[in-house]
């Protein structure tokens, strides 16, 4: 079975942490490296969390620190959802290995340049690092197979009424990616809001009875509480692993190839993704947008990875 080489750009973050585990423990994915970007927390916190999660789950891949601010220089943390550490809810180990001496962009560029086959970039945080890579190293585009990103929405937002958090954090970066000419897959809120951590999911996790699954249950209980406090959602959506699952098994989602733009100037709508589902505009299609999720297939993949990680 040929494995899919990927670089994961993320802002751990509870759901990013589960995306790291799914990427590292599903046999179809070859996780080459992790790059961090500020989003759910400041860059130092999300980077610490990436190292801590890799230590906890015995994942040994290079981790490099990426951008701490958006292309225009702004930063905000989603502490209302992920907590002060950006990964509250359970005790986590101190990092058991050093952060890469390369910057996040340098690691991304090297991994793409040195790969014997085109690499997929999966982004589960703001697209700042990906956009900078494309602008600094346009010659590497031919070695990037596709970009799969968790972000955006064909309907409402979650950071503002119409903007999803990752896109809202760096609309200019999103615009660069959307017009890169690369193969793009968008996993927005439409599909990720179907990846709900239900009571049945918790029950399945509780049957695993490993130190790792116990830690994940603690993290997800925190995530569930904050999501309910903020969004009145009794079961929180586990957004980011969906962007990994679509690579493992494309039948996990149903999608449409349509035009996606990002609003840069809207007084009330900056950061909104404008997804032309019914092709009402003349603009060329540029992204495969996932819209429906096979939740059973998704959770089977996610829980299998947690089980495998807990036994490693």
Strands in 144-150's sheet, in edge-to-edge order, are 63-65, 29-36, 4-10, 119-123, 144-150, 184-187, 287-293, 253-258
> Which residue do the tokens 């830690």 mark?
215
Those residues whose C-beta lies under 8 Å from the C-beta of residue 8, and which sit 6 or more positions away, are 19, 20, 23, 31, 33, 34, 35, 122, 124, 244
| Cβ 217 to ligand RIB shortest distance, Å | 18
Ramachandran assignment for 47, one of left (phi > 0), alpha (psi -120 to 50 degrees), beta (any other): alpha
Does 70 help bind ligand RIB (rule: CB under 6 A)?
no
Strand partners, 254: 292
* Stretch near ligand RIB under the rule CB under 6 A, chosen from 12-20, 107-115, 208-216, 252-260: 12-20
Residue placing its CB nearer to ligand RIB in the complex, 15 or 175 = 15
Residue placing its CB nearer to ligand RIB in the complex, 32 or 82 = 82
| Closest residue by Cα to residue 195 from 290, 306, 85 | 290
| Cβ 37 to ligand RIB shortest distance, Å | 9
Instruction: Enter the tokens of residue 230.
Output: 């903020």
Binding mask 103-142 for Ca ion (x = CB under 5 A): ---------------------xx-----------------
Instruction: Enter the tokens of residue 305.
Output: 């990875």
| Cβ 71 to Ca ion shortest distance, Å | 18
Residues of span 129-158 touching ligand RIB by CB under 6 A: 150, 158
164 binds, among ligand RIB, Ca ion, none (CB under 5 to 8 A by kind): ligand RIB
DSSP string of 205-219? HHTT-SHHHHHHHHH
Please tell me whether the peptide bond between 7 and the residue prior to it is cis, using omega within 30 degrees of 0. no
Does 153 help bind Ca ion (rule: CB under 5 A)?
no
Among 6, 8, 9, 13, binds Ca ion (CB under 5 A): 13
Residues of span 166-195 touching ligand RIB by CB under 6 A: 166
Residue placing its CB nearer to ligand RIB in the complex, 140 or 242 = 242
C-alpha to C-alpha distance for 267 and 251, rounded to whole angstroms: 38
Residue placing its CB nearer to ligand RIB in the complex, 49 or 213 = 49
Strand partners, 146: 120
Among 16, 175, 190, 276, binds Ca ion (CB under 5 A): 16
Positive or negative torsion for Cα 161, 163, 166, 169: negative
**Which whole-number Å values give the CA distances from 107 to 54, 128, 145, 186, in the listed order?**
17, 15, 17, 24
Among 45, 62, 239, 253, binds ligand RIB (CB under 6 A): 239
* Stretch near Ca ion under the rule CB under 5 A, chosen from 3-11, 94-102, 128-136, 250-258: 3-11
What residues line the site for Ca ion (CB under 5 A)? 11, 13, 16, 124-125, 240
What residues line the site for ligand RIB (CB under 6 A)? 11, 13, 15-16, 39-40, 124-125, 150, 158, 164-166, 239-240
């Amino acid at each position: 079975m040929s494995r899919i080489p990927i670089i994961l750009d993320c802002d751990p973050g509870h759901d990013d942490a589960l995306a790291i585990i799914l990427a590292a423990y599903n046999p179809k994915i070859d996780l080459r490296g992790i790059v961090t970007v500020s989003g759910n927390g400041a860059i130092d916190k999300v980077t610490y969390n990436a190292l801590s999660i890799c230590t906890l789950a015995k994942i040994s891949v290079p981790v490099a620190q990426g951008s701490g601010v958006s292309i225009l220089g702004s930063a905000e943390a989603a502490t209302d959802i992920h907590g002060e550490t950006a990964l509250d809810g359970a005790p986590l180990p101190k990092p058991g290995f050093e952060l890469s001496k390369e910057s996040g962009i340098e690691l991304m560029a090297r991994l793409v340049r040195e790969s014997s086959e085109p690499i997929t970039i999966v982004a589960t945080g703001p697209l700042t690092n990906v956009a900078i890579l494309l602008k600094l190293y346009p010659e590497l585009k031919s070695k990037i197979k596709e970009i799969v990103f968790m972000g955006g929405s064909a309907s409402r937002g979650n950071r503002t009424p119409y903007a999803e958090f990752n896109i809202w954090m760096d609309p200019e970066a999103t615009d660069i990616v959307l017009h890169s000419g690369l193969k793009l897959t968008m996993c927005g809120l439409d599909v990720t809001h179907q990846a709900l951590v239900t009571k049945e999911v918790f029950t399945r996790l509780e049957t695993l009875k490993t130190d790792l699954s116990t830690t994940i249950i603690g993290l997800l209980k925190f995530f569930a509480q904050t999501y309910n406090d903020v969004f009145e959602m009794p079961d929180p959506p586990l957004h980011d692993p969906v962007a990994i699952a679509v690579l493992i098994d494309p039948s996990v989602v149903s999608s449409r190839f349509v035009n996606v733009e990002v609003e840069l100037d809207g007084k009330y709508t900056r950061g909104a993704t404008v997804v032309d589902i019914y092709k009402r505009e003349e603009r060329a299609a540029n992204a495969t947008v996932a819209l429906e999720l096979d939740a059973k297939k998704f959770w089977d993949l996610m829980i299998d990875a947690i089980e495998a990680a807990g036994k490693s």
